[in-house]
Amino acid sequence: MKSRSALQFVVIIGIANFFADFTYEGARGIVGPFLGSLGASAAIVGFVAGLGELMGYGLRSVSGYFADKSHRHWGFAFAGYAVNMLAVPALALAGGSESGRGGTRRARHPQTDCGSHAFVRR
């Protein structure tokens, strides 16, 4: 009976890891174009991407230290999965100021009549 519960645990952790990796790796590939659509320059995109990687590795080191000291490895692991699976989709909430400087707005693409949209700087 214990081998069945161990298998269920491994499958559940595998599914959680799949979705966490899916969101993280998917968001990682679109960070540059996403920041560009918000009006960021190439230098800003590079800085933000590098800073994000640095913070990620730093947080892993710090949380690993505290997980070892507190012996709450699973709590830290599940908290990390939860933060990842909530933070990446929350990028959809980011955007420029619609009423002022630097915002983006949706505009019809003039070369098509199919209703496709492109983001245009104001």
Domain count, the chain: 1
Res 24 pLDDT > 50: yes
**Contacts with 37 (C-beta within 8 Å, 6 or more apart), sequence order:** 104, 119
Question: Cα-Cα-Cα-Cα dihedral of 23, 24, 26, 29, to 10°?
Answer: 160
When comparing pLDDT for 70 and 88, which is higher?
70
Residues 69-84 have pLDDT tens digits of: 999 888 888 888 888 7
Find the radius of gyration of the CA atoms of the chain.
20
How much is the average pLDDT of 93-111? 51
pTM confidence score = 0.56
DSSP 115: -
CA dist 12 to 9, 16, 101, Å? 5, 6, 46
Q: What is the pLDDT of residue 78?
A: 84
